Amino acid sequence: MTWNRHHILSLADFTPEEYNTVLQTAASFKEVLSRRTKKVPSLQGQVVTNLFFEPSTRTRSSFEIAAKRLSADILNFAASSSSLTKGETILDTAKTYLALGTDIMVIRHRESGVPQAIAAEMDRLGKRVGVLNAGDGQHEHPSQALLDLFTICTLLNPDAPKCELLAGKKIAIVGDILHSRVARSNIWSLTASGAEVHLAAPPTLLPPEFAQYVGSAERLKIHWEIEPALDKADFVMTLRLQKERMSQHLLPSLREYHQLFGMTRDRLRLCQPDVKILHPGPVNRGVEISSDLMDDPAFSLISEQVTSGVAVRMALLYLMGSSSKIGGTG
């Protein structure tokens, strides 16, 4: 197992070895979660701070329970009730939490680049605190893509999830690609794992430049209709549609979106018979996916994704915590 990353900010430069380290570590924590006492002392006495400048329930709860199961202490910072309203800069807020004793900062912000800027400042100050990007603007959401990867690889081989299991698999990503940090992180991890990634969305939500996103037109195809993306797909990742896209005139209506790009039983027939559907949640039932399909355990991996998220986030916090002690170069 190799790991010498201090921060987890983007998957753009992740190596297959690093993906596999995360997958293996998450697998061992998944085993811990099946025990009666789902807790290990790995991060006892360490402080994980959730610096959420953008509201979040699901991701924050997932990191919180992951940190608690590693026996860390948690500080939750929510922008609404904060000094930000008192004119403090974001970097000063981060430095305050550093000085309070934070070992790992989990950061979400609606502007792209904020976690990177904080990580750079921590490095400049010579501090060993680790920074984890929990979603920055429309840029990246690495832990979500890693839990998607873990969910898929664990399905393919529960005993030994490895990213190489994705070689040759066809994976469709359907929805608001343009505004999705989840899609961007997934594009990196899936193409690096050898999968063939097909993006599908209306042209307003999928500019042609996306074909060059990972630099290789071979592994990434774009479609302005859903059907070719689904054709013999092994996995379909549906993305959450922000309702504000209507008011921005990027989409006519939710109903039309569902007709053209919603995942339904009819469209299931285009895919492989054992196709599985993912969604990062929260789901707009009947928009991105039909309600009955979402609830069908034969096809939906949505609950598994949430459960995988705890194991994967335990793995990330654990690896960052170890790196900060054994001296990563991240």
* Annotated binding-site residue numbers for L-aspartate: 86, 181, 240
Q: Using CA atoms, how far apart are residues 109 and 256, in angstroms rounded to an integer?
A: 31
Nearer to a second copy, 101 or 203 (CB): 101
The residues, any chain, with a CB within 8 Å of residue 52's CB and separated by 6 or more, are: 60, 76, 77, 78, 79, 106, 107, 108, 134
Q: Using CA atoms, how far apart are residues 314 and 316, in angstroms rounded to an integer?
A: 6
Nearer to a second copy, 159 or 244 (CB): 244
CB of 43 to a second copy, least distance (A): 10
Residue 77 φ/ψ, nearest 5 degrees:
-110, 125
Within 10 A of 86 (CB to CB), how many other CB atoms are there?
Answer: 6
Nearer to a second copy, 211 or 246 (CB): 246
CB of 123 to a second copy, least distance (A): 15
Q: Using CA atoms, how far apart are residues 99 and 50, in angstroms rounded to an integer?
A: 15
Q: What does the binding site for a second copy look like in residue numbers (CB under 8 A)?
A: 33, 35-39, 44-47, 55, 57-58, 61-62, 64-65, 68-69, 73, 75, 77-78, 80-83, 86-89, 92-93, 95-101, 243, 281-285, 303-307, 309-310, 325
CB of 45 to a second copy, least distance (A): 3
**C-beta of residue 110 within 8 angstroms of C-beta of residue 141:** no
Within 10 A of 47 (CB to CB), how many other CB atoms are there?
Answer: 18
The residues, any chain, with a CB within 8 Å of residue 278's CB and separated by 6 or more, are: 148, 151, 152, 235, 236, 237, 238, 301, 302, 305
Nearer to a second copy, 35 or 249 (CB): 35
Residue 68 φ/ψ, nearest 5 degrees:
-65, -40
Q: Is the peptide bond before 282 cis (omega within 30 degrees of 0)?
A: yes
Nearer to a second copy, 147 or 220 (CB): 147
Nearer to a second copy, 103 or 196 (CB): 103
Q: Is the dihedral of CA 215, 219, 223, 225 positive or negative?
A: negative
75 forms bridges with which residues in the sheet? 49
CB of 2 to a second copy, least distance (A): 24
CB of 194 to a second copy, least distance (A): 28
Q: Using CA atoms, how far apart are residues 167 and 193, in angstroms rounded to an integer?
A: 6
CB of 222 to a second copy, least distance (A): 27
CB of 243 to a second copy, least distance (A): 7
Strands 47-52 and 73-78: parallel
CA 64 to chain centroid: 16
Nearer to a second copy, 14 or 63 (CB): 63
CB of 144 to a second copy, least distance (A): 14
Nearer to a second copy, 84 or 260 (CB): 84
Tokens of 262: 């919603």
